[in-house]
Amino acid sequence: MFFCPQIQFTEDISMTIPSKTTFSIGDTAKMSGASQKQIRHWEAKGYIPEAIRVVSGDRAYRRFTLGQVEAIGKIKAYLDEGYTLSAAAQKVNGTDISKKEGRNHA
């Protein structure tokens, strides 16, 4: 189980939201606790996988999978604990680093 400030994820969240397979950046931000600006930045820098782009007219909209929403929420939680963005992303992606290396020290 994974806890985000706004939502608690369980392994069977698909039963809670059966009709949703992807989420807008606004919904992703609400569920993960990260801002839309943070999500765009993390995506641009490669800390999270690129969102699916859905074209509508002249615009392309980001759509995130549930796995991406969970990863974004975990990164945000690690940042709130004092990890750097790089260290938080490495932890979420399974790279083992020590907390000492990954924490911001003022």
CATH C-level class of 2-102: mainly alpha
Q: Tens digit of pLDDT for each residue in 64-105?
A: 999 999 999 999 999 999 999 999 999 998 865 544 445 554
Per-residue pLDDT of 3-49, as tens digits, reads 455 555 544 444 444 457 899 999 999 999 999 999 999 999 999 99
In the prediction, which pLDDT does 20 show?
73
pTM of the model: 0.72
Give the contacts of 94 (CB within 8 A, at least 6 positions apart): none
Instruction: Domain ranges for the chain, please list them.
Output: 2-102
pLDDT digits (tens, 9 = 90+) for 58-70: 999 999 999 999 9
**Which whole-number Å values give the CA distances from 37 to 15, 26, 82, in the listed order?**
29, 10, 19
Residue 53 has pLDDT above 70, yes or no: yes
List, in sequence order, the alpha helices (H) in 1-106. 25-32, 36-45, 66-80, 85-92, 99-102
Structure-token match 């397979």, residue found: 21
